[in-house]
Structure 1
Amino acid sequence: MDRDDTTLRVLSTSDLAGLDISLADVVDTVEQAYRTLAAGRSDNPRKLSVKPDDGHSVSYAMLGRDGVRNVVAIKTSYKHGLHESRENQHYYTTLTIYDDVTGLPVAMMDCSRIGSLRTPAVSALLARECASPAAKTALVIGTGTQGRLALPFLLTTLPQLDRLLLSGTHPDGMAAVRAELARHYPDRDVEVVTDLAPAAREADVVVATAGAHTPAAVEAGWLRPGATAILVGHGLAPSTLHDADRVIATSEAQMRVTGTDMADADGDLPAVDVELPVVISGATKARTAPDQRIFAYNSGLVVTDIALGHRFAQLAAEQKLGTEVALWC
């Protein structure tokens, strides 16, 4: 990445779409970011957020440093039209990375593909660490951006899964889930379920990725002993959190900011037993008994975006993708 300090490599959505990266590479990159954070070599301050009183939009800013890659980055996210249907919302997210050894800029990029890969990779790591050793059946709720890659990533970390269930309402989304599964695991298929309660009772791992307007809400009483319920978007009732035997989160502080819809009648959330980076480090285990029902909260940590974004920037530089912008001259 030979550039001076007046230029910045800008990577567009189409630039990043053409980069080929394996699911295993994504999982390894995200896992390394957690290990580095747990070792105290990275910094991940709490995100800043702004939301108007009427709730029509929300914006976030997240700054972090990766101590293995020696880069500093800031991620911004802005979503407009929260009361509208998904197709009528506007969402923009960017990541800007600087080399903390040379002091030079690395790249600025659209962060949407990074998020679409990072989030299901984190769910897959949560499933790997939290699932019962006997886990065989996975249920994914939702067919949006996160739902479409949930099953391929789950199979990457839990190859022993032999039954894959899908709960969704949008035909195009369900077709996209099938297409992604076929692309990564052509020998596997998914069963579409229309009755959520019995499907949840059969699942060892439930990953809820649905949008805010979903009617789906798995109750704690539907979960079998030893089940793991992972919340990414929506699709789990608050009882799955409050009645859980163990609560795991990527970050307890983040959960208390973004997980308020799971609060009880008094507005309270239960304490988190352990955070995922500590589990990934090997210092402790997420599951301590086979029959525990575990609730896991997947919220983004910017260090994972930074690690994956830097990986994309490396691949893009090798392929000479992107546009050099003379931003500071």
Structure 2
Amino acid sequence: MHTPAIHILTRSDLADIELPPADIIRLVEDAYAFYANGQSRCPTKLMMPLPLEQRDAVAYSMLGYDGALQQAGFKTSYRQGAESAEKYYTTISLYDDTTGLPFALMDCHRVGGLRTPATTALIARSCAKENASSALMIGTGAQGINTLPFLLTALPDLETLRLFGTHPDGIAASLEMFARYFPGRSIELVTDVPAAVAESDIVIAASGRAAHPKVETKWLKQGGLLISVASKGVAGGALGDADYAIATNEGQLGVTGKRLAGPDGIARIDAELPDIIVGRKSGRRSQQDRVFAFSSGMIITDIPVAHALATRAIAAGRGNRIELWK
């Protein structure tokens, strides 16, 4: 009689598994399309601040179903302290709905570091004005290191790429990752964030406790696009000041983007990204609109990236097969 088992995959098991940006963007785009067409499920993220006044900590979980792969996924995350990467732990478990068996339990750090820039690239491709030629990346953490190569993969006609960061290791990692995919291109390092925002057609803010003035939508040039990757570096009025506003998911905006709400406590948007991906909604009303986009992670995009990493890692003999239920 078969004993159910699950593959346990560590961060080091997944670290060097190769997935090109174009492939990840396609996986994430398909995930949004299946969700928009009602073939996937993604309840709103559950987030819980821990009731301890002496320290800053938060835990959250997400549950979803990917109709393309027929995989159910459970993601959990815990962070103690808003600025400590060492105290951030995230995992994802996958279950095969075609067989009814567990598939993998794995570290989710790299998954998030890949699906997030893929989402950013899709927002930029869908919502930037025609003939956008410049982009600014603010932040060099785990969510930011891959962003510029993914962005240029989706928008190969971008001419000027700018980067603002305060951590030398993060800046070096960002430049190294970009050179890996685009060795013939260069990145302009900037120090004046408001000035760089005003000069860029696309602005991505993925900074944590920002060491820069909080980015405001009104700083954008006419027709500019501001993408907030759940960033504390974006001003509270950024959504309200936009001519057109989108979110990956309106429900999750209400959970993780509460500070962007208007005077009535409600954060209103004009469109959700999945509907834009399938052509049901527009990415902007006009070429002159200043557009604000709030990107909050959806597990439907974690699942296909995690599955792709896991299948390659298992095929390479990585990880351990554990019979938890025997």
Q: Same fold (TM over 0.5)?
A: yes
The answer as to 2:71 corresponding to 1:99 is: no
Q: Tell me how far 1:284 sits from its aligned partner.
A: 2.2
SS in 2 for 1:97: strand
Q: How do 1:26-65 and structure 2 match up within 5 A?
A: 26-53=24-51, 54=53, 56-65=56-65
Stretches (4+) displaced over 4 A:
none
Contact 1:242 1:269 in 2 (8 A): no
In structure 2, distance between residues paired with 1:110 and 1:216: 33
Counterpart code for 1:169? T
User: Where do 1:1-329 residues align within 5 Å?
Assistant: 4-53=2-51, 54=53, 56-82=56-82, 85-87=83-85, 89-232=86-229, 233-264=231-262, 266=263, 268-329=265-326
In structure 1, distance between residues paired with 2:26 and 2:2: 31
What is the TM-score when the length of structure 1 is the normalising length?
0.94
Q: How much has 1:236 moved relative to structure 2? A: 2.0
**Whole-angstrom CA distance in 1 between matches of 2:124 and 2:266:** 22
Q: Deviations over 1:215-270 (max 9, x none)?
A: 33122331101000000123222232111011010001101110123234x36344
Residue 292 (structure 1) shift: 0.6
The percent of aligned pairs where both chains have the same amino acid is 44
2: CA distance, partners of 1:15 / 1:218: 37
Q: Deviations over 1:33-81 (max 9, x none)?
A: 0000001001101122221233621111111111111111111111112
Going from structure 1 to structure 2, the CA distance change for 1:4 and 1:245 (only over 3 Å counts) comes to farther
**Structure 2 gaps, min length 5:** none
Distance 1:273 1:292, change over 3 A: same
Paired residues of 2:217 and 2:226 also in contact (CA < 8 A)? no
Gapped runs of 5+ residues in structure 1? Answer: none
**Counterparts of 2:217 and 2:107 in 1: how far apart (Å)?**
38
Question: What is the SS of the residue equivalent to 1:307?
Answer: helix
Q: CA deviation at 1:320?
A: 2.4
Tell me which amino acid in the other structure corresponds to 2:198: R
| Structure 1 residues 213 and 197: CA distance shift in structure 2, 3 A | closer
TM-score, normalised on structure 2? 0.95
1:148 positional shift: 1.1
1:307, distance to aligned residue in structure 2 (A): 1.4
Work out the CA distance in 2 between the residues paired with 1:68 and 1:174. Answer: 36
Whole-angstrom distance in 1 between the partners of 2:282 and 2:261: 25
**RMSD, matched Cα:** 1.6
User: Structure 2: how far apart are the matches of 1:4 and 1:207?
Assistant: 49
More divergent stretch after superposition (4-13 vs 287-296): 4-13
Q: Could you tell me whether the CA contact under 8 Å between 1:5 and 1:104 is conserved in 2?
A: no
In structure 2, C-alpha distance between the alignment counterparts of 1:143 and 1:304, rounded to whole Å: 22
Alpha-carbon separation, structure 2, partners of 1:283 and 1:272: 15
Question: How much has 1:318 moved relative to structure 2?
Answer: 2.2
Cα displacement (A) at 1:275: 0.3
Instruction: Give 1:161 deviation, angstroms.
Output: 0.6
Q: Once the 2 structures are TM-superposed, how far is the Cα of residue 183 of structure 1 from its aligned partner? A: 0.8
State the alpha-carbon separation in 2 of the partners of residues 50 and 239 from structure 1: 24
CA–CA distance in 2 between the matches of 1:157 and 1:4?
44
Partners of 1:220 and 1:285 lie apart in 2 by 19
> How many equivalent residue pairs?
323
Partner of 2:144, secondary structure, is helix
The answer to whether the Cα contact below 8 Å between 1:5 and 1:105 also exists between their aligned partners in 2 is no
